[in-house]
Amino acid sequence: MTEAKIVDISKKDVILREAIAEGFIKLKKETLSLIRESKVEKGDVINTAKVAGFLAAKKTSELIPMCHPIPLEFVDIDIKIEDEGLRVITTVKAHYKTGVEMEALTATSIALLTIWDMVKKYEKDSQGQYPETQISYIRVIRKTKIYDDNTS
Q: Which domains does the chain have, with CATH numbers?
A: 15-145 (3.30.70.640)
- pLDDT above 90: residue 1: no
- pLDDT above 90: residue 148: no
Sign of CA dihedral 101, 106, 111, 115: positive
Q: Is 103 annotated as a binding residue?
A: yes
Q: pLDDT digit string (tens) for 64-113?
A: 999 999 999 999 999 999 999 999 999 999 999 999 999 999 999 999 99
In the residue annotation, 8 being an active-site residue is answered as: no
Q: Which of 117, 125, 148, 149 is catalytic?
A: 117
Q: Is 67 annotated as a binding residue?
A: yes
Q: Is 101 annotated as a binding residue?
A: no
Name residues whose C-beta falls within 8 Å of residue 36's C-beta, 6 or more positions apart in sequence.
81
pLDDT at 96: 98
Q: Averaged over 28-53, what is the pLDDT?
A: 99
pTM: 0.94
- pLDDT above 70: residue 149: no
